[in-house]
Amino acid sequence: MVFLDSIILGGLVIGFFYILVSISDYFRKVEKERQYKIDDCYDRGVEYFKDIGSWPKLTQPPNEGKNAERVALERCRRTHTAF
């Protein structure tokens, strides 16, 4: 009986560990996708600011005088569709 209890407990521990690893992998994948979207948005933002002649400092309000790279990154962290 003790042996059977040990097997069941061992199976539960292994199952719990598998669930934790799966959840961790899922969140790692989600974060990687999020970072990819931010990086992609950032690249579009940099191109946009260069195209409109606001590089490296922005020339129009509300961000006049601010670093264009920093503004692009801030906007893309808020929403990856900013640019």
Question: Which is nearest to 82 in space by CA: 61, 50, 36, 72?
Answer: 72
**Cα 70 versus chain centre, distance:** 17
CA atoms within 13 A on the CB side of 38: 15
Q: pLDDT, tens digit, for every residue of 40-77?
A: 999 999 999 999 999 999 998 999 999 999 999 999 99
Outline where 1-83 has alpha helix (H). Answer: 2-51, 68-78
Split into its structural domains, the chain has a count of 1
Range of the domain at 42: 2-78
Whether 60 maps to a domain, the answer reads: yes
Q: Is the pLDDT of residue 33 over 70?
A: yes
Q: What is this structure's pTM?
A: 0.73
**Which tops the pLDDT comparison, 71 or 21?**
71
Whether 29 maps to a domain, the answer reads: yes
Whether 83 maps to a domain, the answer reads: no
Whether 72 maps to a domain, the answer reads: yes
Whether 66 maps to a domain, the answer reads: yes
